[in-house]
Amino acid sequence: METMIQIKDVTKTFVGKDNTVEALKGINLDIHKGEIYGIIGMSGAGKSTLVRCLNFLERPTSGTVLVEGKDLSTLKDNELRKMRTQIAMIFQHFNLLMQRTVLDNVCFPMEITKTSRKDAVKRARELLEIVGLSQKELSYPAQLSGGQKQRVAIARALATNPKILLCDEATSALDPTTTKAILALLKEINEKYGITIVIITHEMAVVQEICSHVAIIDEGSLAETGTVEEVFSRPKSKAAKKLVFRGEEKHYDEMRGKRCIRIVFSSNSSYEPVIANMVLACNAPVNILLADTQDIGGVAHGQMILQLPEEEVTAEKMIQYLKNRKLEVEELDNYVG
């Protein structure tokens, strides 16, 4: 698979008057052509700094960023400007020009590249058709909903026919229904035009909705990478577990029985009442501490955290029962105190 973006040992340090902040610490990532790649982390993890290094809005303190094999640090200013036309960006707060109509907002990047007005208007109308806003071309941003503003921002980002689209918390200001619609639009654009999309977010649900691969950033370091399904099914790092378990890192001191397991269901295992059958087969109860389902790439995945009986033989029998049914079983340390 062709590599579109390669990040090698990238660091970024901000030196202030009173302190020094290491925003990125030796990040290594490969993003392949045509992927929808998620970069996720809690607030302050360094993910937005990383995405700004991908187009050199922030120059890394050290390390290398290659786009289609070209080292951005070696490009002259005019070459970098030309490269940036191929790396479009959309933001959380849309960044539209309030005094311009929707049509003129979409035309704006083409004005900068000296496209003729006639060609720019034609292209802008094509893009507004793609994002479903043809009827709003003479409206102003203040007359639009949040979802409509983001659609205009997406149309504007596509104006220069970019190969890469960077989305920095692009759905964070939107309600869940609108978020779903915007993500569906991005997926459609990716599939139809082959644009590589990098999504920066703090929401695991966004990554699970449309991303194929994910990188988890924690305090400036790369905590974990893999396919979304791998990371959801078998999170290895503490940061990944916190995101996958949705912050459910509580300690239940009042409950007896210290042994806990996490099991992952997929669509092929969701029809058998496996927990009920296990309880009947082993003749012992379990305590369900967490249960939820996610849609990952159009396939239903569920997870459940169970507190097993104190009696070791019974607990082992339950674990084996689940493994025999081809379920992912992970033992959790210190989940209950």
Enter the DSSP assignment of 308: P
CATH 3.40.50.300 segments of the chain: 3-243
Distance of alpha carbon 310 from the chain centroid = 39
In total, the chain counts a number of residues equal to 337
CATH 3.30.70.260 segments of the chain: 256-332
Sign of CA dihedral 23, 25, 31, 35: negative
Mention the CATH class of domain 256-332: alpha beta
pLDDT in tens, the chain (337 residues): 789 999 999 999 998 888 888 999 999 999 999 999 999 988 888 888 999 999 998 999 999 999 999 999 999 998 988 888 899 999 888 889 999 999 999 999 999 888 899 999 999 999 999 999 999 999 999 999 999 999 999 999 999 899 999 998 888 888 888 888 999 999 999 999 999 999 999 888 888 889 999 999 999 999 999 999 888 888 888 888 888 776 544 444 444 567 888 888 765 555 567 888 888 888 888 888 888 777 777 666 778 888 888 888 888 999 998 888 888 888 888 777 5
Token digits of residue 127? 């893009």
- Strands (DSSP E) along the chain, which ranges? 3-15, 20-32, 36-40, 62-67, 70-71, 87-91, 164-168, 196-201, 213-218, 221-227, 260-266, 287-296, 299-307, 328-332
Q: Considering the entire predicted model, what is its pTM?
A: 0.76
Instruction: List Cβ neighbours of 97 (8 Å cut-off, separation of 6 or more).
Output: 104, 105, 108, 141
Please name which of 31, 22, 27 lies closest in space to residue 10, comparing C-alpha atoms.
Answer: 27
- Three-state DSSP state, 270: coil
CATH number of this structure's domain 3-243: 3.40.50.300
Q: Are 169 and 133 in contact (CB under 8 A)?
A: no
